[in-house]
Amino acid sequence: MSTNEIAEILKQGIEDTRAGRRADAREKFERVVELDENNEKGWFWLASVVDTDEERRICLANVIHINPNNDRARKALDALSTKQKEVIAQEEVMPGITRRQLTLIAGGGAFIVVTLIIILLIVTVGGNQRSADATAQVVAAVQTNTAEVIYSTGTAEAATATQLAIATPTPEPTATFDRPTLPPAWTATPEATVPPTAESLPPPSGVTGILSAWSGRDLRSNDYLPVGYFNFDSSLQFQQIGTELGKDVNLFPTGQRIAYTRYDSLLFSSTLDAVNLNGTQAESLADRWTGAGILSPEQPSFSPDGQSIVFVGNSQDAPQISQVFLLTLLDLPPGASRSAAVRNLSNDNINYSYPRFSPEGNRIVAVRNDTLGGTGTDIVVIDVATGGKIPVSSDQGSFIETMPRFSPDGTQIVYAVAPRTEPDNNDIFITRADGGGSPTPLMRSPANDLYPVISRDGRYLAFSSDRNGNWDIYILDINTQELFQLTNSPDEEDYPGDWWQLS
């Protein structure tokens, strides 16, 4: 096979990777390195789609063998080694005691034993006052060092507790709404069907609250952008938080903190981070479930009381299956393993995506993609307590639903949906959360409309659309059907994540 043909296979694999088709991408990259075992790019891209860290090490080692000056591959390999050491250190060698703790205990024990030997030698060799003074000094040193060890341990525990207390703000009551349900007037009229146009629409007015978002140029071509928010009460300008790139930005119930999916470029994987709107108290949420064996976590969503987060990830035992996990943000009982902080809610062999809490926090809506069972892609509601699932849609794969979330009163679900024959023509619909009735269109257009977000007062719908040739954020006044344009960013992409408002 010619070099150009191999390059074309590599190009197709890269496109599959960016579109989330990891299995297809892996097949193409494996084909590339099979045809050309010295293809540096092929091995490097293959490292980004394999399932295990051991496979990544093999791919990266081949990259370095081909090109010893590939600094990025070397850093990624070093990061994998650091991660492996951390996992080994966190392994429990006996109930409630990790390998790292045992090492500290052993080190402390050795220090005490050596010190006692020194004391014994001093007492044995000398019997005069000088020896006694020396003994007293050593004993004092032992007491001082022991006190320092205890103080340091206590300080570390206190600092950890303080950090968790700050990073997990005191929950505020969930906002309530006067509107018991979304009215039939939400049915889109022909006037709300907006054709693609190059003309900008007026900016929104009368809108309140904070809209989290990810916005900017996709410089790495991996769909990760700067994270931040729009504060409608002060301006319509995007406020970036920190320098990390992410997506799926969700707001804490108080509106002062976000959780989001961040891409770890060294480990070729996604992870979950949290940070305050002012950039303080940044936290890696994955550190809370160390040892649970969850790969590529993404799409986090806070519970209404702020005490937990739901997200999707892949188990090490089934790396091809994306499951729904529930992470507690509360302190674990003394001696409990960190892996006890997370629970598998879906617990089957079917892929899930875009989980979101209901306003009361006892249900989670998600997309369920059962390609092997033949039922296709549909929306389900999962009971948090029991894990039971209620189907919301059941079109047998005729339509592809995505990005669902509850209405402010919890009785309905808004989502994006496209015919299977036109996967890039999503419209936005709303339907009953119990699966009854027929879906009602909120926004239909020849463009691709995604990421629907309803304001907490139930009046506005924010979404992202490519109708102007760029992915911009639009806001629909549901009552008047008037459409506004929040962003107009040539060569940039803008996506809404979550909407917070005062009650």
- pLDDT tens digit sequence for 415-435: 999 999 999 999 999 999 999
Question: What is the helix (H) or strand (E) element at residue 289, kind and residue range?
Answer: none
- pLDDT at residue number 268: 82
Place of tokens 């091809």: 320
- CB-based contacts of 322, cutoff 8 Å, min separation 6: 296, 312, 313, 314, 351, 352, 353
Average pLDDT on 187-193 reads: 39
pLDDT band at 19 (very low <50, low <70, confident <90, very high): low
374 confidence band (pLDDT: 50, 70, 90): low
CA distance 241 to 222: 19
Residues 424-452, mean pLDDT to the nearest whole number = 95
Higher pLDDT, 502 or 341: 341
Q: Which residues lie below 8 Å from residue 234, measured CB to CB, with a gap of 6+?
A: none
The reported pLDDT for the residue numbered 396 is: 74
pLDDT of residue 239: 97
- Taking the C-alpha atoms of residue 417 and residue 399, their distance in angstroms, rounded to an integer, is 7
Tell me how many degrees the CA angle 157-160-163 measures, rounded to the nearest 5: 150
pLDDT of 91: 54
Check residue 416 and give its pLDDT: 97
CB 239 within 8 A of CB 249: no
Tokens of 257: 């903190």
The distance from CA 478 to its chain's CA centroid, rounded to whole angstroms, is 30
Q: What number is the average pLDDT over the span 105-126?
A: 48
